[in-house]
Chain A
Amino acid sequence: MNEVSDQVLIQKVVTLNCHDSFADLVKRHQSSLRYSLRQITGWDQALADDIAQETFIKAYQAIPSFKGTAKFSSWLYRIAYNIFVSHFRVARNRELTSSETVSNYSRCVGLSESSDLHRDLAKALLNLPPKQRIALHLHLHKQLTHDEICNIMEIPLGSVKTLITRGKKILQDDLSSWKHGDRI
């Protein structure tokens, strides 16, 4: 099937204000973005979908400024990342401390009867600081290059590498029990 490229759809949205073309872009990218947001929010589906919706609405409003130098998906991730970080800042102001997050994680893991690997890993990722969580997900799951992650997170290359190395080590230690069949 001949699928229209993202760039053509974006052009239609910008020049013709075509809602259908934007809906096609949403259909094309929503699953991947929502999945990523679920991974970094500890599989909080409602929160992940809220952030995803806000991401697409902001993307629609800012689409004339999209230069096309990066992939559209990377641009979306950049918007989503900023929304996620600001959400986390607000949550932290509401005294959602990291210790509380960890205890929530433990409770979830303890109660869960699901063997869903995706959900379990998302909850395990909650043990990491948000930036490490995102960098690790983008690198290991989405297989983005360090440069792409730099662009999304707007941080230097060295910081990205450090986040990934440290995050990987912490996660590896946390999940070592899984090897012995202790997962959930």
Chain B
Amino acid sequence: MSDKFDIDQLFNQLRDSEPALDDSFFVNTVASKLKNNNNVEFLTKENLSTLVAGAIGYGVAIGYFPAMELIEFTQSIAQIPTTFTLTPTYLISILGISSTFAGLTYWVSEKEWSS
């Protein structure tokens, strides 16, 4: 007779004695993780309903929309020159304004506001 280990017999033995693992804690953990996933889904649904409500609101308000004023506004926008010459003075002014704006933004974000 072969001296080899009978693997099939071993696995039969394992199969017959496979333990039934307790489910209560495991199922609760999975359920709680699913609830967390569901919160995100709820927010998404809420956002969607807000968008739909917004679209309906626009549909109702479209009659009151100041279309003529807007056309006049776009016409005035069209009068803005599309080409311009970049002079050193103009460039320095732009740099100065953007630096000031960036500095102001940084200061506002870093400042600790007291109540």
Q: Within 8 Å of chain A (Cβ to Cβ): is B23?
A: yes
Q: Within 8 Å of chain B (Cβ to Cβ): is A72?
A: no
Neighbour of A23 across the interface among B8, B18, B19, B31, CB < 8 A: B31
- Majority SS at the chain B contact face: helix
Contact call B14/A121, Cβ cutoff below 8 A: yes
- Majority SS at the chain A contact face: helix
Neighbour of B27 across the interface among A23, A143, A171, CB < 8 A: A23
Q: Within 8 Å of chain B (Cβ to Cβ): is A52?
A: yes
Contact call B34/A30, Cβ cutoff below 8 A: no
Neighbour of B3 across the interface among A19, A27, A179, CB < 8 A: A179
Q: Categorize the interface residue count of chain B.
A: 20 to 34
- In the complex, A61 Cα to B8 Cα: how many Å? 37
Contact call B14/A141, Cβ cutoff below 8 A: yes
- In the complex, A24 Cα to B14 Cα: how many Å? 26
Which residue of A has the minimal Cβ distance to B35?
A19
Which residue of B has the minimal Cβ distance to A176?
B5
Contacts of B8 in A (CB 8 A): 140
Q: Which of A7-39 contact B (CB under 8 A)?
A: 19, 22-23, 26-27, 30-32, 34-35
Contact call A22/B34, Cβ cutoff below 8 A: yes
Neighbour of B31 across the interface among A19, A52, A171, CB < 8 A: A19
Neighbour of B14 across the interface among A34, A117, A179, CB < 8 A: A117
A interface footprint on B19-60 (CB within 8 Å = 1, 0 otherwise): 111010011011101110110000000000000000000000
> Interface of B with A (CB < 8 Å)?
3-5, 7-8, 10-11, 13-15, 17-21, 23, 26-27, 29-31, 33-35, 37-38
> Interface of A with B (CB < 8 Å)?
19, 22-23, 26-27, 30-32, 34-35, 49, 52-53, 56-57, 60-61, 117-118, 121, 140-141, 143, 168, 171-172, 175-176, 178-179
Contact call B11/A53, Cβ cutoff below 8 A: no
- In the complex, A23 Cα to B21 Cα: how many Å? 16
Contact call A35/B27, Cβ cutoff below 8 A: no
Which residue of A has the minimal Cβ distance to B18?
A35
Contacts of A53 in B (CB 8 A): 26, 29-30, 33
